[in-house]
Amino acid sequence: MARTVAELMTREPATVREQDTVARAAQLMRQNDTGNVAVVEDGHLVGIITDRDIAVRVVAADRPASTPVGEAASHEELAVISPETTIQQAASVMREKSVRRLPVVRDDQLLGIVSLGDLAIEADPESGLADVSAAKPNP
């Protein structure tokens, strides 16, 4: 039987609300050693903000760190998968949608996030991408 993303995903990922600041999102990324934070309102996933979103939509646009997450996060056509999605299907969705992270949801409820690095480690633990993905950050 094919393995599913439920076996690999990061459970209980960090979350912010749309009115939280991008500075708060960045702090959560640092604390959790991740490049993304889910945007949740009333328990429902409404978007995702990534380190790239902050760099391009806030820093490069010369906007302040107090910019609300809702103004920098990706909302439209958010690619999501279910916990029953196979690892191969998740990789296919990432390729098709050109994304590196996929929220795992059931009934719009965020259950976790699976990343390209998670898939790389699973597919070939000896690969260069797996090495980079598994590396711990320098303090």
Tell me the H-state helices in 33-114: 51-53, 87-97
pLDDT tens sequence for the chain (139 residues): 568 999 999 998 999 999 999 999 999 999 999 999 999 998 899 999 999 999 999 999 999 999 999 999 988 788 999 999 999 999 999 999 999 999 999 988 899 999 988 888 776 545 444 444 444 554 5
* CATH, residue 13: 3.10.580.10
Q: What total of structural domains would you count in the chain?
A: 1
For position 132, what pLDDT does the model report?
A: 43
Give the H or E element holding residue 15. strand 15-16
For position 135, what pLDDT does the model report?
A: 44
For position 84, what pLDDT does the model report?
A: 96
Within a domain: residue 124? yes
Within a domain: residue 86? yes
For the chain, give the longest Cα–Cα distance: 50
Q: Whole-angstrom Cα distance, residue 108 to residue 43?
A: 8
β partners of residue 53: none
Within a domain: residue 99? yes
- Domain span at residue 10? 5-134
Within a domain: residue 139? no
Within a domain: residue 95? yes
For position 119, what pLDDT does the model report?
A: 87
